[in-house]
């Protein structure tokens, strides 16, 4: 069977994340359409992005705080590194690690603090690729728009061959479904998948293929256009496909709009990174790696949004805009607060952490000594038991009766001992 787009992604890690994010999107879409009267996936994505970044704000705050405090602690970190420069022995390396850890505790920051937000955002982004590439599989309210027509199509005689011919005639790589299966639920899902990704020519061919369903097809097509429209583009399409198809049909306005999406994704990422304070770790290699990553990330967004659904590009752009706004106000916030007060509060916490680490080291040493003592006791017991066995054997041989096997063994033993002298 060829690849399927409608069925939700069932990966062990990204699968549950995608379903959870799709559920949130569905609730936002339902609220906007039923309460606010706005039935549009693009608007839903914008509101959804704001919601996600509000949830991630505590991590953004910690990351910003980490960067500011690490700049302040850099002179002390440089002193530690200078103190142990060139010392490769185990004692010096351990002492350097302990002093560095105590310094981080003093300032209340984590060595992994700058990576935490990225580690959380990356799986969210990968899961959203699945959601935006296949909205009906995750957003039930959008799926319901297509469900009625899909049921009607599956009741038509020979619909499987008709839908297969339709997909082949369109030659659209975004449509990869197999209508040869016998499962009715799967067939309905594949039909919904196909309907969601049809272009205008595809809808016209669908109407010609099922003339008795023309009214239902036209209504569903108009409703889907309203839902998926973003500046005249289909939110489920990708910029590369829009550029190639629109250029060949001389619709240059759509070409420009489609190109603006990856370009804005790149520019917004650059601005967002520029607004973020650099956390200088004092490590030249790490600083170079951070510089490389800050250069590559906007380029990755440029390429990724070019070949991904427009919805993902919109999320990426909106996310960068929201981060930039957050950074602007957080930078002003940290300029006003007294960092020395924060450091003083962290000193007490650092002392408790140091005491706890000391207690853990004592406990580990005690456990190790206990294991060594038990091992020595076990060896002494074995040695004592072995000696006792030898003594009993010697006693048995000395008391052996004349003519017995033991007495004969003693004669052989004495003979061997005399010959070996």
Condensed to tens digits (0 to 9), the pLDDT of residues 102-115 reads 877 777 776 655 56
Assess whether pLDDT exceeds 90 at residue 385: no
Banded pLDDT at 271 (limits 50, 70, 90): confident
- Check residue 217 and give its pLDDT: 93
- Check residue 420 and give its pLDDT: 54
Banded pLDDT at 238 (limits 50, 70, 90): confident
- Check residue 3 and give its pLDDT: 37
Question: Is residue 234 helix, strand or coil?
Answer: strand
Banded pLDDT at 137 (limits 50, 70, 90): confident
Q: Which two tokens stand for residue 281?
A: 């770790």
Rounded mean pLDDT, 28-43:
91
| Range with lowest mean pLDDT among 75-89, 186-200, 279-293 | 279-293
Q: Which residue has the higher pLDDT, 345 or 143?
A: 143
Q: Considering the domain boundaries, does residue 80 fall inside one?
A: no
Which phi and psi (to 5°) does residue 154 adopt?
-65, -15
Of 163-177, 323-337, 382-396, where does the model show the most confidence? 323-337
- Check residue 177 and give its pLDDT: 62
| Range with lowest mean pLDDT among 141-145, 277-281, 361-365 | 277-281
Assess whether pLDDT exceeds 50 at residue 250: yes
Query: Please, are residues 334 and 310 in contact by the beta-carbon 8 Å criterion?
Result: no
| 3-state percent breakdown (helix, strand, coil) of the chain, nearest 5 | 80, 0, 20
- Check residue 289 and give its pLDDT: 65
Q: Considering the domain boundaries, does residue 23 fall inside one?
A: no
Q: Which residue has the higher pLDDT, 323 or 345?
A: 323
Q: What is the DSSP letter of 56?
A: T
Closest CA to 223 of 167, 143, 140, 309: 143
Assess whether pLDDT exceeds 60 at residue 132: yes
- Check residue 218 and give its pLDDT: 93
- Check residue 99 and give its pLDDT: 82
CA distance 39 to 144: 13
Instruction: Annotate 294-318 with three-state secondary structure.
Output: HHHHHHHHHHHHHHCCHHHHHHHHH
Query: Please, are residues 201 and 141 in contact by the beta-carbon 8 Å criterion?
Result: no
Q: Which residues contact 353 (CB under 8 A, 6 or more apart)?
A: 105
- Check residue 24 and give its pLDDT: 93
Mean predicted lDDT score pLDDT of the chain: 77
Assess whether pLDDT exceeds 50 at residue 146: yes
Assess whether pLDDT exceeds 90 at residue 49: yes
Banded pLDDT at 374 (limits 50, 70, 90): low
Q: Considering the domain boundaries, does residue 413 fall inside one?
A: yes
251-261: pLDDT as tens digits: 888 899 999 99
Closest CA to 103 of 359, 352, 346: 346
- Check residue 372 and give its pLDDT: 63
Assess whether pLDDT exceeds 80 at residue 9: no
CA distance 259 to 240: 8
pLDDT above 90: percentage of residues in the chain? 14
Assess whether pLDDT exceeds 50 at residue 248: yes
Assess whether pLDDT exceeds 70 at residue 399: no
Rounded mean pLDDT, 346-373:
61
Q: Which residues contact 268 (CB under 8 A, 6 or more apart)?
A: 316, 317, 320, 321, 324
Tokens 């209340």, located at residue: 108
Q: Considering the domain boundaries, does residue 392 fall inside one?
A: yes
Q: Considering the domain boundaries, does residue 346 fall inside one?
A: no
- Check residue 174 and give its pLDDT: 55
Q: Which two tokens stand for residue 332?
A: 């002003």
Assess whether pLDDT exceeds 90 at residue 7: no
- Check residue 119 and give its pLDDT: 72
Query: Please, are residues 165 and 175 in contact by the beta-carbon 8 Å criterion?
Result: no
- Check residue 2 and give its pLDDT: 32
Planar angle of CA 73, 76, 77, nearest 5 degrees = 80
Q: Considering the domain boundaries, does residue 252 fall inside one?
A: no
CA atoms in the 13 A half-sphere facing the CB of 131: 31
CA distance 177 to 5: 8
Q: Considering the domain boundaries, does residue 391 fall inside one?
A: yes
Query: Please, are residues 191 and 152 in contact by the beta-carbon 8 Å criterion?
Result: no
- Check residue 42 and give its pLDDT: 92
Q: Which residue has the higher pLDDT, 222 or 72?
A: 222
Q: Report how many domains make up the chain.
A: 1
C-alpha Rg value of the chain to the nearest Å: 36
| Range with lowest mean pLDDT among 32-41, 220-229, 321-330, 369-378 | 369-378
Q: Considering the domain boundaries, does residue 399 fall inside one?
A: yes
Assess whether pLDDT exceeds 80 at residue 349: no
Residue numbers of the domain that contains 391: 360-420
CA dist list (Å): 164 to 7, 187, 214, 300, 403: 18, 11, 19, 36, 101
Assess whether pLDDT exceeds 80 at residue 403: no
CA distance 185 to 169: 24
């Amino acid at each position: 069977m060829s690849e399927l787009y409608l069925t939700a992604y069932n990966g062990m890690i990204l699968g549950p994340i995608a379903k959870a994010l799709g559920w949130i999107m569905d609730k936002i879409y339902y609220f906007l359409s039923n309460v606010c009267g706005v039935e549009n996936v693009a608007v839903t994505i914008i509101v959804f992005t704001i919601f996600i970044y509000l949830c991630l704000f505590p991590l953004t705050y910690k990351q910003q705080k980490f960067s500011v405090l690490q700049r302040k602690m850099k002179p002390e970190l440089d002193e530690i590194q200078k103190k142990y420069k060139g010392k490769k022995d185990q004692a010096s390396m351990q002492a350097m690690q302990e002093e560095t850890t105590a310094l981080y505790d003093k300032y209340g920051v984590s060595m992994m603090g700058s990576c935490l937000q990225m580690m959380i955002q990356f799986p969210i982004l990968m899961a959203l690729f699945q959601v935006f590439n296949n909205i009906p599989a995750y957003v039930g309210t959008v799926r319901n728009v297509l469900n009625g027509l899909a049921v009607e199509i599956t009741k038509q005689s020979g619909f499987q061959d008709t839908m297969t011919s339709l997909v082949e005639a369109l030659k659209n790589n975004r449509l990869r479904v197999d209508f040869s299966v016998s499962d009715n639920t799967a067939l309905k899902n594949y039909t919904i998948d196909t309907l969601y990704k049809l272009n205008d020519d595809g809808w016209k061919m669908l109407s010609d293929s099922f003339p008795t369903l023309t009214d239902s097809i036209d209504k569903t097509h108009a409703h889907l256009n309203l839902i998926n429209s973003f500046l005249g583009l289909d939110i489920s399409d990708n910029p590369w496909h829009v550029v190639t198809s629109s250029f060949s049909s001389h619709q240059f306005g759509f070409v420009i709009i489609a190109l603006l999406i990856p370009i804005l994704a790149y520019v917004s990422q650059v601005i967002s990174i520029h607004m973020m304070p650099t956390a200088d770790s004092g490590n030249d290699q790490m600083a170079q790696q951070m510089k490389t990553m800050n250069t590559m990330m906007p380029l990755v967004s440029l390429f990724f949004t070019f070949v991904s659904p427009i919805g993902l590009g919109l999320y990426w752009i909106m996310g960068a805009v929201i981060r930039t706004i957050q950074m602007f106000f957080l930078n002003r916030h940290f300029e006003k607060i007294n960092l020395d007060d924060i450091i003083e509060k962290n000193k007490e916490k650092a002392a408790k952490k140091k005491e706890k680490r000391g207690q853990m080291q004592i406990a580990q040493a005690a456990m190790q000594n206990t294991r060594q003592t038990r091992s020595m006791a076990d060896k002494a017991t074995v040695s004592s038991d072995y000696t006792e066995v030898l003594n009993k054997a010697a006693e048995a041989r000395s008391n052996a009766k004349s003519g017995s096997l033991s007495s004969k063994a003693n004669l052989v033993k004495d003979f061997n001992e005399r010959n070996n002298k």
